[in-house]
C-alpha cells in the first residue's frame, strides 16, 4: 500500500529519460577510461615508459652518411639524452624465400642493442649462438601492415596474421666474399618503435666478418632514448647539428597528447550527462514527494516513520542504478568485442577483459550517486 500511494503521481517518461541519460553518461565515462588504458597499451606497451625514442641519420652527401666517433660522443652528451644506440647494417647480400607463401625477395638486416627493442621477452627469444642455423628476427609492425594492406592485395597474396607468421620459417641465403650459406629465419616478435628488420647484434657482427667485402666506416643510423616530455627541445638541438630525425617517433608524443585530450573530452561529456541525469532524478523525486505531501503526512500520522517512506523511494532508485550499471557493463563488453575485432584486423592485439579500474569506477560512482540521492530523499520526506 505504501508503494502504491507514493508512486501514484510518478511520471514514467521523466524516469525513463533520466535512466537513459544515466546509462549514456556512465557508458561514455567508463568507455573513455577504458580507451585511455587501451591507447596507453598500444602506444607504450606494458612497461611504464619514462623515455621516448628517436632515430637519427645524416643527410647523404657524396655517398657518405655515417656518424663519426666524435659526433656520437657529442650526441650522447646532449641534454635529455639517456642512452645512445647505433645500428649495425648488413654488409652482404641476403635472399629470402618461402615455399609456403611462394615468394622470393632480397632483404636487409640491421641490429641494435636489445635495450632499444620493444617487445616482450626480447632477451629470452632474441638470441643467437654461433653455429646455429636458425636466426631470430624482429620485424617492424609497419612493414607487416604495408604487406597486408599494400603489397598482398596488389599481388593476389594472402594477408598474414602476426601470430600466424611466428609459426613459419624463411629460407635465407647469405652471399659475400664468394661464400654462400643457408639459414632459417624465424620471426620471434614485432616492433612498433623501429622501422627495420632486426637480427641479434652478435649474429650481425659474425655475419659481417664472414661475408662483408667492405666495412662501413661508421654507424649509418643512431637511436636515442630521450627523457619523456623533452622531444621538442631535442628536435631543435638536432636540427642545429644538421642531422635528420625520424619524425614518426616525435609525432608519437603529439598523437598521445591529442588522444589524451580527446579521451578527456569524452569523459567530461559523459560526466556532464550523468550529472544532468542525476539532477533529473532529484527533481523527479522532489515533485513526487511534493505531490504526495498530503498522503505522506497521513502515513506519518498513521505511524509510519520517515525512514520507511524514504526506504521505498531509495529501493526504487537502487534498482534503477543497478540496472543502469549492468546495462552499461554489457554495452561496454559488446563495444569492446567489436573494437577488438577491428584491432585484430589491423595487427593489434588487445584482451577482451575490461581494465579493473573500470569496474571500480562504475561501482563507486553509482554508490556515490545513490548515497547522495538517499540523503536528499530523506531530507525531502522529513521536510513534509
State the DSSP code for 116: G
Write the burial class of residue 173 (CB in 10 Å: 0-12 exposed, 13-18 middle, 19+ buried): middle
11, 38, 284 from 8: Cα distances, Å: 9, 47, 13
Alpha carbon distance 169, 97 (integer Å)? 9
Alpha carbon distance 200, 186 (integer Å)? 12
Alpha carbon distance 65, 54 (integer Å)? 18
Contacts of 370 (CB under 8 A, 6+ apart): 314, 317, 318, 321
pTM of the model: 0.57
CA atoms within 13 A on the CB side of 365: 21
Alpha carbon distance 283, 373 (integer Å)? 10
Alpha carbon distance 356, 360 (integer Å)? 7
The pLDDT, as a whole number, for residue 251 is 47
Nearest to 215 by CA among 62, 60, 92: 92
pLDDT tens, residue order, the chain (384 aa) = 555 555 555 667 767 777 788 788 888 888 888 887 777 666 555 444 456 788 888 887 756 678 888 888 998 888 888 899 999 999 999 999 887 777 788 999 999 999 888 877 788 889 999 999 999 999 988 888 887 777 777 877 777 778 878 888 889 999 998 899 999 999 998 888 888 999 999 999 999 999 988 777 778 899 988 887 777 778 778 888 888 887 544 445 556 666 677 777 877 887 787 777 777 766 766 676 666 666 667 666 767 676 776 777 777 778 888 888 899 889 988 888 887 777 666 555 666 678 888 888 888 888 887 787 777 777 766 665
Nearest to 63 by CA among 217, 282, 197, 241: 217
Asked if 158 and 152 count as a contact pair (C-beta separation under 8 A), the reply is yes
Alpha carbon distance 280, 164 (integer Å)? 52
The pLDDT, as a whole number, for residue 249 is 47
E strands in the chain: 51-57, 81-86, 88-89, 93-98, 103-107, 110-111, 134-140, 169-176, 179-191, 197-198, 221-227, 244-245
Neighbours of 133 (CB within 10 A): 9
Asked if 232 and 251 count as a contact pair (C-beta separation under 8 A), the reply is no
Domain boundaries, given as residue ranges, for the chain: 2-47+259-382, 51-253
The pLDDT, as a whole number, for residue 146 is 81
| Exposure string for 234-261, b = 16+ CB within 10 A, e = fewer | beeebeeeebebbeebbebbeebeebee
Amino acid at each position: 500500500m505504501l508503494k502504491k500511494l507514493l508512486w501514484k503521481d510518478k511520471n514514467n517518461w521523466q524516469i525513463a529519460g533520466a535512466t537513459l541519460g544515466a546509462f549514456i553518461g556512465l557508458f561514455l565515462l567508463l568507455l573513455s577510461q577504458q580507451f585511455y588504458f587501451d591507447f596507453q597499451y598500444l602506444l607504450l606497451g606494458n612497461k611504464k615508459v619514462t623515455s621516448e625514442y628517436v632515430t637519427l641519420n645524416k643527410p647523404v652527401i657524396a655517398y657518405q652518411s655515417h656518424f663519426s666517433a666524435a659526433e656520437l660522443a657529442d650526441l650522447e652528451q646532449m641534454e635529455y639524452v639517456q642512452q645512445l644506440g647505433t645500428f649495425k647494417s648488413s654488409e652482404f647480400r641476403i635472399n629470402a624465400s618461402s615455399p609456403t607463401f611462394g615468394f622470393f625477395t632480397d632483404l636487409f638486416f640491421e641490429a641494435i642493442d636489445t635495450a632499444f627493442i620493444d617487445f616482450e621477452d626480447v632477451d629470452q627469444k632474441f638470441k643467437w649462438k654461433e653455429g646455429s642455423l636458425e636466426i631470430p628476427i624482429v620485424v617492424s609492425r609497419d612493414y607487416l601492415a604495408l604487406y597486408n594492406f599494400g603489397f598482398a592485395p596488389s599481388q593476389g597474396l594472402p594477408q598474414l596474421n602476426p601470430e600466424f607468421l611466428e609459426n613459419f620459417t624463411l629460407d635465407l641465403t647469405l652471399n659475400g666474399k664468394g661464400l654462400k650459406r643457408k639459414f632459417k629465419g624465424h620471426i620471434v616478435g614485432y616492433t612498433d618503435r623501429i622501422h627495420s628488420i632486426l637480427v641479434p647484434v652478435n649474429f650481425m657482427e659474425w655475419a659481417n666478418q664472414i661475408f662483408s667485402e667492405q666495412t662501413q666506416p661508421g654507424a649509418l643510423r643512431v637511436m636515442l632514448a630521450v627523457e619523456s616530455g623533452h622531444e621538442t627541445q631535442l628536435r631543435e638541438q638536432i636540427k642545429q647539428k644538421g642531422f635528420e630525425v625520424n619524425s614518426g617517433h616525435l609525432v608519437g608524443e603529439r598523437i598521445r597528447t591529442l588522444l589524451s585530450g580527446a579521451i578527456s573530452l569524452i569523459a567530461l561529456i559523459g560526466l556532464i550527462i550523468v550529472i544532468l541525469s542525476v539532477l533529473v532524478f532529484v527533481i523527479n523525486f522532489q515533485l513526487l514527494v511534493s505531490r504526495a505531501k498530503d498522503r505522506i503526512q497521513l502515513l506519518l500520522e498513521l505511524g509510519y516513520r520517515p525512514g520507511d517512506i524514504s526506504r521505498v523511494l531509495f529501493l526504487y532508485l537502487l534498482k534503477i542504478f543497478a540496472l543502469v550499471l549492468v546495462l552499461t557493463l554489457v554495452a561496454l563488453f559488446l563495444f569492446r568485442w567489436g573494437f577488438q575485432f577491428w584491432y585484430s584486423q589491423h595487427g593489434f592485439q588487445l584482451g577482451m577483459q575490461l581494465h579493473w579500474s573500470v569496474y571500480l569506477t562504475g561501482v563507486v560512482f553509482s554508490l556515490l550517486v545513490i548515497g547522495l540521492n538517499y540523503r536528499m530523499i530523506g531530507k525531502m520526506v522529513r521536510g513534509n
